[in-house]
Structure 1
Amino acid sequence: MTDPHQRLQSALDALDVAFAPRAQLPISVGGCTHCYGEEDLSALAGPVHQIPDDLVRHVAHEVPSHWDDFPGLYRKVTPRIVRLLIADRLLSDAVASQFRTAGWRAWPAPERTALEHVWQAWWRSALHSHPSTGDVTRVLETLGTVTGTLAPWLTAWARTRTQAADLHLSDALDWWLIEDELADLHFGFYNEVHATPELLPWLLSLEDGRIGAAHLREIQRISHG
């Protein structure tokens, strides 16, 4: 199967399978009773597929201190959160930072691997469609924040020589060059990832013609600033 969108759907299905034992397992959920009533906490403690979308969105964005066991709850609801994230129905920078806080890299291998496959398939799917669901700069910010590095995502972008990938690059530069944002660009809700040290050299290393002349002049100016 080579179609990027089919690969993404397959990766999401595999994510459901990897998290199925946890998703169906009732757990004790304690949280801020000022913000969440007993009905909410009861729903979160039950099967994941029965949790209302609005409540999943609250969990996806809520500060960890609102929950007695934030990593456990986030891990349980991960398949639902990821599907909403890819559908562009969540604040991507906040969710990316939440995954870091939840320590997803330390989760059991089947869950961690399934998530890694989704991240890769999501990026590939985004690069092969223009326009895509969700702005490509937000997808890159999410992936860079979640994994702590831009390197694999930028490498894949450089190797993807499609019209869609090039259009995304032009769109991204339109955004990153506003008021010289590229000179000191940070990703993540808490600005955890300093993107400029990886992003600027990568842009300058791209093949001739990949970046328009006007954009390239601005990138070179910033790099010598």
Structure 2
Amino acid sequence: MMADLFDTLTSGPGEAVALAPGAWLRPGFAGGEVPSLLAAVLAVAEAAPFRHLVTPGGATMSVAMTNCGSLGWISDRRGYRYEQVDPLTSRRWPAMPERFLQLARRAADASGFPGFAPDACLINRYGPGSKLSLHQDRDELDLDAPIVSVSLGLPAVFMFGGQARGACASRHRLQSGDVVVWGGVSRLAFHGIAPLAAGAHGLTGEFRYNLTFRKVMSEPGAGAGAQR
């Protein structure tokens, strides 16, 4: 039944699974760091509380979010964009914790994208039924840098498609501590999260948290990294 429901490969802890050229699922890559990562998430949320953003079309997102880093991603009636100041608090976004930076760099390095220097970390909080429809991460100026995504808490179904919204998307069960990295020819792949199933996690209760690291601003001479 599980194999029918989830299109995943049963690799051992730490054994990378290729999702597409330049895209990797790394099971348990952050497993030992989950408690400290969650503590850092809660510290960020104290300074920049979770909120449900409104899309340009007027819909309220089911996922609650906040940011840390020099830039934060926001959405409202004026569109999707990055801002230096949190519109909820009128203060700069909290600094990105060093443990976040180190994890993102290690995951990118292991996936063939050396020198990753994210300047934004989106933190999403999923409750029962929350989802993220298939979309592209394309609001960044630097599309050479990869995306690094870290799962914390309840498991979720990650959907990973192609360059067109209508392309068939594979489905992969993500556990707490799993990391997904995609870049290069897969940088603009459509991806999303299926509605979160109700459950209880020992550290996060009914929630799943996701850290998404991005490089927003371009740097002269930045390359796309190796493809493996």
- Structure of larger gyration radius: 1
Q: TM-score, normalised by structure 1?
A: 0.26
Higher relative contact order (CA 8 A, sep 6+): 2
Structure showing the higher strand proportion among its residues: 2
